[in-house]
Structure 1
Amino acid sequence: MHLDTRAQTLLKALVERYIADGQPVGSRALSKISGLELSPATIRNIMADLEAMGFVASPHTSAGRVPTPRGYRVFVDTLLTVQPIDEGALESRMQSRLQSNSPQKIIANAAQVLSSLSQFAGVVLTPRRESIFQQIEFLRLSEKRILLVIVSPGGDVQNRLLLTDVDYTPSQLIQAANFINQNYGGHSIDDVRLRLQTEVHKLRDDMNRLMLAAVELGSEAMTDDADGVVISGERNLLSVTDLSSNMTSLRKLFEMFEQKTTLMRLLDISGKATGVQIFIGGESQLVPMEEMSVVTAPYEVNGKIVGTLGVIGPTRMAYQRVIPIVDITAKLLSNALSQS
């Protein structure tokens, strides 16, 4: 729905004032802060039109108005002026936090940085671990107990204990590992499982069972914690009145943090787009609370999008400040992970 210049100016002024102090904004205040030379009556008429179009609402306890989710959406999409940010200063502040030999530590630190800079909750959807293996090895520990060693193309090593019905000799274990590595190395675990079921009939049944058991266990090893969410600063949201004003809101908030399913779905969807995305409660069904917004951006490793990060806060957040924080953190995390 088209808004003329005066309506846009008043809506922008109202949202910015409401974000700043959390109080309904009246026509008299708008006449002072908007910079428009309009009579109070004209401002009231424009505000009535904005309310009729669903961009603002009037709380029962006040003559002033507050933005609706639809009003926030227009604000962030077309009216928002993003604050310039000193990328060099932010990068130097974050650089030491994002230096580590452990990608998991870098990701955890990125969530903490997002939280500390925004004063809300920082969240990072960790990269999916590819279920491709480079080679495996069987190590006999004792009778019917074998250590399965799985090496990914990137050099990550997963170890799992394999209990068997047969006491395999070291030479049998070497034979089985060589068969898998020579025929299936570089393939996904799922692909190997399907092919083993049809291609190893020429081997003895006990060797077949060993390989199939190894693939099943390997699949579990390669997918453990594959889709994880790292959250930092949840307690910051307890001090946000908009989110913690009643027990129902608090329950929804911490159910989301505990179960993580909703967060993972939202972050996964936002990772399919480029740049910063803003999900506003009451407008997006992916956000479980009307009073909550999530600002996200995808991050990359060697040019490939592998995950998403963001800030969880109240709908009444300073988007002009949070957006560049999320955007730059995504870029710095991409650089750190690509160099790690």
Structure 2
Amino acid sequence: MTKYSLIFFFIGLISQAQEKPSIQKQEIIRIETELASDKMEGREIFTRGNDSASVFIQNEFKKIHLDYFEGLGGYRQEFTAKGKPANNVIGMIPGKSKPNEFVVFSAHYDHLGMKSNGKDKVYNGANDDASGTTAVIALAKYFKELGQNERTLIFIAFTGEEVGGFGSSYFSNNIEPNQVIAMFNIEMIGTESKWGKNSAYITGYEKSDFGQILQKNLKGSNFNFYEDPYPKEQLFYRSDNARLAYLGVPAHTISTSKMDSEPNYHKLSDEVSTLDLDNMTEIIKSIAISSQTIVNGLDTPTRVE
């Protein structure tokens, strides 16, 4: 190898080292398609399909090399609901300078299961909430590769949301809420919001300055977070963020679901083919960018009263 070849070789290595991680559409498609596939049998809690989804998420966390959550010997956070065994899937990236301050990224991986008969039996739940779970996995990979989080990042896929929020209740009861700086709960981001592409809303926007911080970090982009346009639906209290919000945590749900006109909500037709995967990828990228100052310890959202 000549002297000049060596120079270009090392320049290439330096360039690669300086490249920031990115969130790729093909990865979003891969994860989303697997979670919403028929073989997951609708991911209903206490079923074989739910177990299959859990194993898939655990394997993704393992590939990313997430740490185990405190006190666990793996990625399963096991508990009992309705007298039956169930589990969340949870991993973490320890914070560099503020390891005892937690930022949570979450979604629920359970859905409605299957019908007993008919040509199409599977409630695939592509939007609800394979889309959110896909986002959590993609964000875990992004932040692990970035390696710049000052606060500890917790990535969790809850089970039991569809039947009473069992997974998020167990998690919330087994963590010190004062250590949780913020919770990004991601629910149904696979379709365009009422404002079109490059937008989403935040439930409970007025209850803390969480949303204002996110929007500030997106200055100069074409993405916008809005207040929840469906106040009568009480969405702030209807997803997995609610348990920690009750304890004062600025725990909010990010969504695009048009609750007054979402044609596939809780229907057999909620399949991958109905999603806008380009827009969904951009939403996940925007969550990554907008969360940076909270992740890096520069911003601390106000607590929820």
Q: Which bin holds the TM-score, normalised by the shorter protein?
A: under 0.3
> TM-score, length-normalised on structure 1?
0.22
> TM-score, length-normalised on structure 2?
0.24
Q: Which one has the largest radius of gyration? A: 1
- Give the structure, 1 or 2, with the largest relative contact order (CA under 8 Å, sep 6 or more): 2
